[in-house]
């Protein structure tokens, strides 16, 4: 054998051995992630971009990597190849994120004077417009209520013919009509409960032109895109607020035919019944034509903003009372609580409205803080934005999507 042929043979054997070692290393890496597997397929990838001697990742490991991409960057993945495009538009990546406990909060809001919703992603550091909601003029210009369930944003309002729910799906970046609630309602309480959404109370139409304050409740499942009945509350109520705390769906305050309600109640998912909490809002002064209670939950602790004084309070579960932590940096008292967004953003409180300290007026200001219920004094609020985003400070709807 000539020296040239001998050299080529040695190089060929070396490359084969090297490729075998590479494949073994990737196979070992993939086997370490079996507990997060989302596909049992052993088929070779069929996309044209898997070429040459570079070994491909297993589908399961690939999914674990792609699931950790910032959700706002998923549109870039859809440009890589057809399989990535299909994967991004399905719920598979979000299912993996839930399995591995990896999620990101996005703030979805509609400010007065706007025709489209805004999404604030990546810790409020980036923003984007959602597609225009294709509802009729009655829905667009009327009062609406919103809630998130998984990767779905549900917006409820009145169209010309009836109450309707529109849903925005983050995976496809599109709006879809329906599904309607079992008992279509307005002025209800709602909360994101795990991967589901729950609603309770509100005003429902029992016959044409006849409306009553309701005690009924429902749960929305984003996987089936259906509403399911849950038992009714102890009290019918409207203009109430909901939250998810201690793995329970709480409904607080509101009004019924007898007037203002200071009681709250929560739904026990194991016993399938509502437990009443008398006097839960007994310390909060009542204003005429006020908004539903401004409440948010961080670390399984319930916080509220007293609209008459702009005071931040924390709920003491053992004594069924509230203690004051200090002032919030927005003017909740301007419109009796209306137009202010008060939400939980992971381990922080989020408040959006007209700034009480900034000289910029009539522009939206965003503040966050990490509250400590055991600390004395007001928490330190961080100004995220003030006047840079030319949106009205009056927030019509706001929801947090955690996915």
pLDDT digits (tens, 9 = 90+) for 299-315: 999 999 999 999 999 99
**Segment of 31-45, 67-81, 332-346 carrying the highest mean pLDDT:** 332-346
The tens digit of pLDDT for each residue in 124-148 reads: 888 889 999 999 999 999 999 999 9
Contact by Cβ (8 Å): 107, 117: no
**Above 80 in pLDDT, residue 192?**
yes
Average pLDDT of every residue of the chain:
84
The tens digit of pLDDT for each residue in 254-300 reads: 999 999 999 999 999 899 999 999 999 987 777 778 999 999 999 99
The answer for 299, left when phi > 0, alpha when psi is -120 to 50, beta otherwise, is left
Interstrand relation of 255-256 and 248-252 (parallel, antiparallel or unpaired): unpaired
Cα–Cα distances (Å) from 150 to 90, 194, 200, 205, 223, in that order, read 13, 8, 19, 29, 9
Percent helix, strand, coil in the chain, to 5, is 15, 40, 45
Q: How many CB atoms lie within 10 A of CB 277?
A: 17
Per the listing, tokens 């810790």 go with 123
H or E element in which residue 49 lies: none
Contacts of 390 (CB under 8 A, 6+ apart): 363
The tens digit of pLDDT for each residue in 172-184 reads: 899 999 999 999 9
Q: What fold does the segment set 101-402 form as a domain?
A: Neuraminidase (2.120.10)
Query: Which residues belong to CATH 2.120.10.80 in the chain?
Result: 101-402
Name the nearest CA neighbour of 339 among 401, 398, 287, 263.
398
Contact by Cβ (8 Å): 305, 342: yes
Tally of CA atoms within 13 A in the half-sphere of 279 that contains its CB: 7
pTM above 0.85, yes or no: no
């Amino acid at each position: 054998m000539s020296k040239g042929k001998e050299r080529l043979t040695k190089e060929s054997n070396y490359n084969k051995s090297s490729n075998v070692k590479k494949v073994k290393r990737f196979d070992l890496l993939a086997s370490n992630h079996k507990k997060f597997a989302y596909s049992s397929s052993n088929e070779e990838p069929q996309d044209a971009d898997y070429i040459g001697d570079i070994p491909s990742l297993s589908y399961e490991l690939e999914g674990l990597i792609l699931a950790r991409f910032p959700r706002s960057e998923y549109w870039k993945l859809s440009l890589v190849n057809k399989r990535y495009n299909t994967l991004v538009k399905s719920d598979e990546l979000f299912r993996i994120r839930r399995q591995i406990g990896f999620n990101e909060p996005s703030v979805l809001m509609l400010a007065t004077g706007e025709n489209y919703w805004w999404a604030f992603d990546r810790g409020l550091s980036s923003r984007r417009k959602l597609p225009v909601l294709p509802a009729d003029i009655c829905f667009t210009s009327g009062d609406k209520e919103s809630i998130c369930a998984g990767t779905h944003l549900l917006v409820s309002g009145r169209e010309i013919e009836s109450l309707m729910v529109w849903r925005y799906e983050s995976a496809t970046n599109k709006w879809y009509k329906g599904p309607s609630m079992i008992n279509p309602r307005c002025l209800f309480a709602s909360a994101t409960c795990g991967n589901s959404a729950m609603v309770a109370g509100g005003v429902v139409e029992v016959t044409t032109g006849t409306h009553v304050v309701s005690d009924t409740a429902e749960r929305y499942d984003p996987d089936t895109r259906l509403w399911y009945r849950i038992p009714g509350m102890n009290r019918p109520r409207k203009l109430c607020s909901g939250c998810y705390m201690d793995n329970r769906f709480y409904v607080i305050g509101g009004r019924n035919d007898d007037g203002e309600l200071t009681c709250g109640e929560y739904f026990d998912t194991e016993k399938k019944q509502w437990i009443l909490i008398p006097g839960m809002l007994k310390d909060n002064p009542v204003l005429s034509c006020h908004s539903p209670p401004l409440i948010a939950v961080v670390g399984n602790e319930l916080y509220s903003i007293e609209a008459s004084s702009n005071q931040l309070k924390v709920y003491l579960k053992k004594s069924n009372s509230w203690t004051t932590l200090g002032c919030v940096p927005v003017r909740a008292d301007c419109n009796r609580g209306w137009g202010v967004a008060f939400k939980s953003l992971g381990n922080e409180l989020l408040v959006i409205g007209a700034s009480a300290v900034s000289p910029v007026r009539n522009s939206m200001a965003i503040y966050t803080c990490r509250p400590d219920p055991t600390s004395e004094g007001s928490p330190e609020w961080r100004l995220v934005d003030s006047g840079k985003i030319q949106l009205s400070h009056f927030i019509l709807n706001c929801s947090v999507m955690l996915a």
